[in-house]
Amino acid sequence: MMDKQQLDAYFEAHREEMVRDICRLVRIRSDRSDPKPGMPYGEGPAKALAEAMEIAREMGLSVTNYDNYVCTADLNGSPTELDILAHLDVVPVSDGWTVTAPFAPLEKDGRLYGRGAADDKGPAVAALYAVKAVKDLGVPLSKNVRVILGTDEECGSSDLDYYYAREKEAPKSFSPDADFPLINLEKGGLRGRFTASWTEDRALPRLVSADGGTKLNVVPDKASALVEGLDREVLARCCETVSAETGISYAVSEENGCLRIDAKGTGAHAASPQEGNNAVTGLLRLLVSLPLADCEGFRRLKAVESAFPHGDWLGKAAGVAMKDDLSGETTLSFDIFRYSLTGLEGQFDCRASILANDENLRDVIKARLAEGGVELAPCSVFAAHHVPAESPFIRTLLRCYEEFTGEKGYCVSIGGGTYVHRLENGVAFGCAKPGVNNRMHGDDEFAEIDQLILSAKIFAAAIAEICG
């Protein structure tokens, strides 16, 4: 085990430098956009990758660019024993930030605010500084540690598909893209898309359109709709009633002869839908309460709302509530919805217990939607990821955690699929402190600076143990 006092002194000396480098990355807006030549995920992710490679080069690490999908930073030329995977892409931002602008990092009260500070640019830099500490302190290693920095974690991790089609997995891998102490089980799940279509009905009052959600793995914080032929006072009373029930706020305005409804909730990660207040389901709850004319489109809307009602993140109404002692409860987040005069489309993100399969999850939801004339597109349940808690690799990581925190290390299960979900011996290890909500995917995202520095110390000790 590396000397704790030595690492304390090292990171005290490099604290400001580390914060500076995190800010260099946070300033770059790196949510995925349309591809450009040589930029598979758009200009922002490519810029973040270029900046990260420059940071790694400044540290004296060996850097390789895999066609702007990922880059790697190697400590030495020995066989790689440990991969550390972090990502530089971020989810889109809303207009609800209050502490600072999303891409204007601000250090305040021991926290660093900004999109990506916690997910995952801060942890990425912490991993790089852990490698730098091992190098600068002259720790003798017989194996290599490689930091892999990707740019598509938030939208499916196709960057890792590209990388691992060219490189082998290291014998051991961890990603600092979650919580301490250690996550060794990630739920399986189902990402479903459903549709319905009909002939336009002109009977009034009617729903003209509805729109909400941008990313499948983000609980939407806003949604909107246009209603035609409805009395404004009637709508206002319904908004007041449903807002008291749901906690969603509704604003009404006029647009092109219709009444526009803007619903505002609270964003969250789809793996923890209970931490948000879903604006899409909140909007649907309002819409089905309105005295609209009976028509096929309105009936299909009611069927969707009935299957995925507001506040039901356990899938009870859909008939798929299940849990087990190892992985916990299945969760379901309805995150994207579109409605027009002739059809609707929606997408949900289900994080499933290890008990789940196509028969007891997919087929049940499919049948539930079909009852209301809504069709689930072809999809399949993907398996959970599990690395046994008794493995020597996990015991080493938890020993390092315990040494530097003084806390008991243990394994947990999560609904999120981290960057190592498809790696045979991959676990999630840090960086967030247990019980701290860093507002990942939400407004005013932040990282605790002391926690990032503590994480870097733990990672350095783990590198020395695993690669020594």
- Between CA 352 and CA 311 the distance in angstroms is 18
- CA distances to 60, 89, 124, 415, 449 from 128, rounded to whole Å, are 11, 17, 6, 27, 15
Contact, 115 vs 93, CB < 8 A?
Answer: yes
Amino acid letter, residue 58: E
* Cα–Cα distances in angstroms (integers) from residue 1 to residues 132, 143, 271, 349, 466, in the given order: 17, 16, 34, 41, 10
SS3 410: coil
Please, is 98 exposed, middle or buried when counting C-beta atoms within 10 Å of its C-beta (0-12, 13-18, 19+)? exposed
Tokens of 182: 């250690």
Q: Which long-range contacts (CB under 8 A, 24 or more apart) does 3-10 make?
A: 4/403, 4/404, 4/457, 6/137, 7/133, 7/137, 7/404, 7/457, 7/460, 7/461, 8/457, 10/133, 10/136, 10/137
Query: Helix (H) and strand (E) counts for the chain?
Result: 11, 26
Contact 102/93 with Cβ under 8 angstroms? yes
Alpha-carbon dihedral of residues 227, 229, 233, 239, nearest 10 degrees?
Answer: -20
List, in sequence order, every beta strand (DSSP E) within 176-230.
178-179, 182-186, 188-197, 206-212, 218-219, 222-228
Distance CA 145, CA 131 (A): 8
Catalytic residues: 89, 153
